[in-house]
Amino acid sequence: MVIVLIIDLEYLDTLPVLRWNRTGVTVAGVTGQVGNASNQLNNPLGLYVDWANTLYIADDANNRIQKYLKDATFGETVAGDSTGIGGPGSYLLNHPSNLAVDLNGNMYVCDRWNHRIQLWKRGASNGTTLTGITDFNFHKILFEYL
């Protein structure tokens, strides 16, 4: 499927200008604190926000995926080990870099240092390897719902 975007240049000047708010708000983690407690992160990389405004974070150096419900101050580990232990087991991750979540709540995780893509079904305590190639790093997953 090909999506074509047509822009009417005559009306381009009437579009609103959006500006970034210069005062940031911490929505996950604790500013200036690295750790593996449920309210802390360590080198967060990939982010995903689902239809319910739930925030998922690939917490790279803690080897886990954290899930933050809207307005929550503490996250829940939904993939990997909550204490930060990494490894090759199906219940572990090793420096996850990105993720996507489908409409059923299943997660697809780039398990970077294990060189694999893991499917974590909603509520599962371990993942299933969908693909993996030795000596290849998966850095991105792109999901499009068309």
**pLDDT at position 26 over 80:** no
Burial of 24 (0-12, 13-18, 19+ CB in 10 A): exposed
Q: How far apart are CA 15 and CA 32, in angstroms?
A: 38
**What pLDDT is stored for residue 122 in this prediction?**
92
Average pLDDT of the residues in 11-36: 70
Q: How far apart are CA 30 and CA 38, in angstroms?
A: 10
**pLDDT at position 135 over 60:** no
CATH fold of 43-146 reads Thrombin, subunit H (2.40.10)
Residue carrying the six token digits 């299933």: 128
Domain residue spans in the chain? 43-146
Structure confidence at residue 144 as a pLDDT band (50, 70, 90): very low
pTM of the model: 0.75
Q: How far apart are CA 137 and CA 129, in angstroms?
A: 14
**What pLDDT is stored for residue 142 in this prediction?**
46
User: CB neighbours of 101 closer than 8 A, spacing ≥ 6?
Assistant: 48, 50, 56, 107, 108
Average pLDDT of the residues in 39-59: 90
Average pLDDT of the residues in 101-110: 92
End-to-end CA distance of the chain: 8
> What is the percent of the chain where pLDDT is above 90?
45
- Model pLDDT for residues 52-97, shown as the tens digit of each residue: 899 999 999 999 999 999 888 899 999 999 999 999 888 999 999 9
- Model pLDDT for residues 29-38, shown as the tens digit of each residue: 677 778 888 8
> What is the percent of the chain where pLDDT is above 70?
75
User: What six digits make up the tokens of 17?
Assistant: 């200008």
